[in-house]
Amino acid sequence: MRIVLDRPRCEGHGLCEEAAPDLMHLDEDGELVLDREEISDADAALANAAVRVCPVAALRLA
């Protein structure tokens, strides 16, 4: 499973970082950085939570 970021949609809310801080973070410029794109089964629930909390659907799982 992978996390895919649609960068133009991202508004930098950072709710995803709050849901899954080990998987992603916003950098100093407020740009989202995926720290891990390949998601293990152990992190699937966290990744799901991060994808779901985004109000502009900038993330998805593939």
Partner 1 sequence: MSTAIQRVVVVGNGIAGLTAAETLREAGFDGELTIVGDETHAAYSRPALSKALLLDGDDLSSHELPPTTHGATELLGVRATGLDVDRRLVKLDDGAALPYDRVVLATGSRARRLSDLPEELILRGLDDALALRKRLAGRPSVVVVGGGPLGMEIASGCLTAGCQVTLVSQGVPLILQLGPYLAEVFVKAALERGLTIVETGSARLDRRGGDARVVLDDGAVLEAELVVTAVGDVPNTEWLADTGLANRGVVQVDSRGLVRPEIAAVGDLAAFPTPYGLRRIPLWSSAIEQAKVAATALVRGDDTPPLQFRPYFWTEQFGLSLKAVGHLPLDGEPTYVEGGPGGPALMRWSRDDGSGAAVALNYRIPIPRLRRVSREAV
Judged by the rule CB under 8 A, the positions of this chain that interact with partner 1 are 9, 11-15, 17-18, 21, 25-26, 29-31, 45, 48-49, 51-53, 55-57, 59-61
Least Cβ distance, residue 18 to partner 1 (angstroms): 5
> Quick one: tokens of 52?
């779901």
DSSP 41: G
Min CB(47)–partner 1 separation in Å? 11
* β-bridge mates for residue 26, sequence order: 32
Q: Which residue's CB is nearer to partner 1, number 35 or number 57? A: 57
Give dist(CA 28, CA 46) in Å, integer. Answer: 23
